[in-house]
Amino acid sequence: MKNAPLTAALRALLIVVLVTFAGFPIYWMASTALNVNAQLYNTGQVPWLQFGNLPELFRELVELPLLRWLFNTGLIAGGTTALSLTMGSILGYALSRFRFHGRGMIGFLMFMTQVIPEALLVVPLYAMFITMGLLNSLWGLVLANVGFSLPVAAFILKSAMDAIPYEIEESATIDNCPRVGILTFIILPLIAPSLAAAAVISFFAGWNEFLFAATFLMDRELWPTSVGLASFIGQYETPLSAVMGAALVFSLPAVAFFLLVQRKIVAGLTSGAVKG
């Protein structure tokens, strides 16, 4: 193993390059936010972080209904996550444990939802939402997003449940545990990593929601942050530093959520990959 130090150095170099590559846009976002608009449009962006401009940035941000938009985004993302995980657990359990007619067809239809582009569904959904009175409603958006994230969540959870020996469930049956209890007390705690993975996928599907929100929501009060930020981009003027500042604030809860569940995720995404 005489090449070990060289391998380690190459590995470290590769990590630095990849982290820089992935992290630079975030740095650039922070750097842009800490430039004043005059600089950006006249003398060009100063590439380093100018913390002296923080008060100016803060003044610009408080003028925006940022908290309201963040709340809306949180509601869409949280609602999508909660509903996807609840329904996904039940659906995943049914697909994993029960044999019934049409089981294969359900799996096929669930995959089909991932094949169809969102944009293709905007018009039919719009028509449906008018009929159902869900237009201009955050709950309507939650439902629309659940439609896309539920199949993914259900499949992740089904795969995890497949790996749990059936004997554990039988044992719980013998111990007088009701069927719903078997799911909530036994199965779900055992697939916590996969639940975390499914939660992240559903959460970010809701958090990054733009297309449906921009189409279905008319009130500025109901906009999520993504639509709010896009509204700044005007024909003649775009306050880039405020947009980037708001984008930074928009990223923080998502980062916090990811950090909260990230320890569980890797195990969840790789579960079933090797014989345990």
Nearer to other proteins, 181 or 239 (CB): 181
Minimum distance from residue 172 beta carbon to other proteins (Å):
8
How near is the Cβ of 101 to other proteins at its closest, in Å?
A: 16
Q: Please state, in angstroms and rounded to a whole number, the distance separating the CA atoms of residues 199 and 192.
A: 10
Min dist. Cβ of residue 192 to other proteins (A): 8
Which run of H or of E encompasses 108?
A: helix 103-115
Q: How far is the CB of 265 from other proteins (least distance, A)?
A: 18
CA atoms of 227 and 232, how far apart (whole Å): 9
Shortest distance, position 174 Cβ to other proteins, whole Å: 5
113 contact partners, CB below 8 Å, separation of at least 6: 147, 148, 151
Residues that bind other proteins (CB under 8 A): 165, 167-168, 170-178, 180-181, 184-186, 189-190
**Site of tokens 């975030």:** 26
Contacts of 154 (CB under 8 A, 6+ apart): 87, 88, 91, 92, 95, 110
d(CA 113, CA 154): 13
Cα–Cα distances in Å, from 197 out to 56, 165, 182? 39, 21, 21
Gap between the Cα atoms of 200 and 186, Å rounded: 22
Q: Which amino acid is at 7?
A: T
Q: How far apart are CA 73 and CA 244, in angstroms?
A: 17
128 versus 163: smaller Cβ distance to other proteins: 163
- Report how far residue 73's alpha carbon sits from residue 204's, in angstroms, rounded to the nearest whole number: 10
Give the nearer residue to other proteins in terms of CB position, either 94 or 186.
Answer: 186
Measured from the CB of residue 54, what is the shortest distance to other proteins in angstroms?
Answer: 41
Least CB distance to other proteins at residue 189 (A): 4
Pick between residue 175 and residue 237 the one whose CB is nearest to other proteins.
175
- Residue 138 vs 195, nearer CB to other proteins: 195
Comparing CB distances to other proteins, the nearer of 121 and 190 is 190
Instruction: Tokens for 198, please give them.
Output: 């499914």
**In the complex with other proteins, which residue's Cβ is closer, 124 or 189?**
189
Do the beta carbons of residue 84 and residue 150 sit within 8 Å? Answer: yes
